[in-house]
Amino acid sequence: MNAWPDADSTIVDRYVRQLRVRSAKTRRWYANEIRAFQRFLERTEPGGSLTEAAVVAWVRERSTLVLPIVVADRARKIHRFLEYLVRHHYVATNPLASLCERYGARSLTAIIRAVSAPDPERALSALRKPPPWSSSLGAVMRDHVALMRSVGYRYRAQEQRFLAFDRFLQSHPEIAGQPLAALIQAWTVATPTRAHAGQCELVGRLLSRVMHRLDPRSETLEVDRGLRRQLYRGHRRPHIYSHGELCRVLEAARTLGAPRSALLPSTAYTMLVLAYCAALRIGEIVRLTLGDIDEKAGILEVRNTKFFKSRQVPLHSSAMQALSEYVAARRLAGGPTSASAPLFWHEARQGGYSRAAAADLLIKVLRSAGLKPARGRTGPRIHDLRHAFVVHRMLDWYEHGVDPEPRLPHLATYLGHKSINSTLIYITVTRELLQHAAERFRRRGAASLRAEGVVS
């Protein structure tokens, strides 16, 4: 029996007290919503049983009284409370979670929308998706993903591309059995955008090679060089921050308005210092822990990054000082001090930053510094700081008379690249870099010509 366990509202009161909300008024609102849900169960179900039928009836009644967006919001709050009950073993199951699992819904909103429809059974049935890898080529793609992971690749992005193609084939059974080139063409036409066409071409070429290994008689698809050129022209060129722009960004981080979080400006500032001075990716920044810092040696341990690599990153004394000041401020703010605790800690969430949360914070700083418009995706990106680091390092070598070519393997290691081929992508040709390279070539060429007696 999945009966309501809280006749005297003791559990409800305990639940709302532990919520991280801004005011006592919000806690009272939560408690009132949960008690209203409880009264509905007591009115409609014997003993107030928590069943899927009772939850469906509650959603349908709510949908006749308030807007759909309000129904979805209240259902999410009830869902979180029911998850709390399950987690603390007050009830056996959460009917809302059971509905999501049974119908394969990715979000609770989809379930609420289907339940509120005129024909809920039909709407819920429409949510059911066929199992992955059930298309005509699904087994081939699934086995290839398993093979690549067995030899050490994460293969997440490629798996998602294969799954997208698998879903397309499932929704178009009428084209099953056609040659791979025809299937890829049909998928390309389904969404006529340049980016989608590039993804389709990538999947087609990879899958054709996989099928060719299984059956040498099958045809491999060639690179569409015209599409490659279009995609290359459409790529956003990295923005190489000037020293003045870097100062503006760091100052904007220090003065970031955060009335509810005194630690937030220091967090943003230190993240930006590591993104530029240590050339860390956002994902690497948010995965750092307190144990990754060696203040005495001035070294940062960056673990389990791209291609399963880890590396030790030496930091300049000024960058290590900024990091030490942040750790001290974090300690004063009450952050956890264990070695495994996330380095960048959020006061409100009482936990570490996700990649998306860190990106949102740093983009907010760029907008505050006036480098990005208030809305949209145009303007400099956070990842461009990594490009700026490489270009500025090359310029510094040129200005100090250092030959950069022998240093490129060291730079690749610092950046966490497998080889210098990946590092070369980051060497954006700026006017200053081109001038230094041309001057170096001129000096070398003049010396060679003098040695051969061509010029005096």
pLDDT at 31: 92
| Residue 376 host element (H or E) | none
pLDDT at 3: 82
Question: How many angstroms separate the CA atoms of 95 and 13, rounded?
Answer: 22
Tell whether pTM > 0.85.
Answer: no
pLDDT at 22: 75
- Residue 260 CA: distances (Å) to CA of 16, 201, 251, 346, 349: 21, 48, 20, 11, 12
Kindly name the residue from 62, 113, 248, 281 that is annotated as catalytic.
281
CB 97 within 8 A of CB 79: yes
pLDDT at 242: 94
* Catalytic site includes residue 281: yes
pLDDT at 369: 95
pLDDT at 454: 54
pLDDT at 451: 62
pLDDT at 129: 78
pLDDT at 269: 97
pLDDT at 307: 67
pLDDT at 62: 92
CB 72 within 8 A of CB 109: yes
Q: Give residue 394's Cα distance to chain centre.
A: 30
CB 145 within 8 A of CB 151: no
> Cβ contacts of residue 291 below 8 Å, gap of 6+?
301, 339, 340
Q: Which residue bears the tokens 């100090």? A: 400
Report the Cα–Cα distance between both ends of the chain, in Å, rounded. 100
Point out which residues pair with 294 in neighbouring strands: 299
Element counts in the chain: helices (H) and strands (E) = 21, 5
Question: How many angstroms separate the CA atoms of 103 and 7, rounded?
Answer: 31
Question: How many angstroms separate the CA atoms of 225 and 453, rounded?
Answer: 46
Q: Which of 147, 382, 179 is nearest to 284 (CA)?
A: 382
pLDDT at 40: 92
- Residue 51 CA: distances (Å) to CA of 3, 95, 98, 171, 422: 9, 6, 10, 33, 55
Question: How many angstroms separate the CA atoms of 403 and 397, rounded?
Answer: 7
In one letter, which amino acid is 387? Answer: H
**pLDDT tens across the length of the chain (456 residues):** 578 887 888 999 999 988 877 788 888 999 999 999 999 998 887 777 888 999 999 999 999 999 989 999 999 999 999 999 999 989 999 999 999 888 888 789 999 999 998 898 888 888 887 889 999 999 999 999 999 999 888 899 999 999 999 999 998 999 999 999 999 999 999 999 999 999 999 999 999 999 999 999 999 999 888 888 887 777 788 999 999 999 999 999 999 987 778 899 999 999 999 999 999 999 999 999 999 999 999 999 998 787 677 899 999 999 999 999 999 999 999 899 999 999 999 887 778 999 999 999 999 999 999 999 988 888 999 999 999 999 999 999 988 888 888 999 999 999 998 888 889 888 888 888 888 878 877 777 666 656 665 555
pLDDT at 15: 92
* Catalytic site includes residue 209: no
Q: Which of 160, 196, 204, 201 is nearest to 180 (CA)?
A: 204
CB 168 within 8 A of CB 190: yes
Point out which residues pair with 352 in neighbouring strands: 345
311-314 and 299-302 beta bridge pairing? antiparallel
Kindly name the residue from 87, 306, 444, 450 that is annotated as catalytic.
306
Rounding to the nearest 10 degrees, give the CA dihedral for residues 150, 152, 157, 159: 0
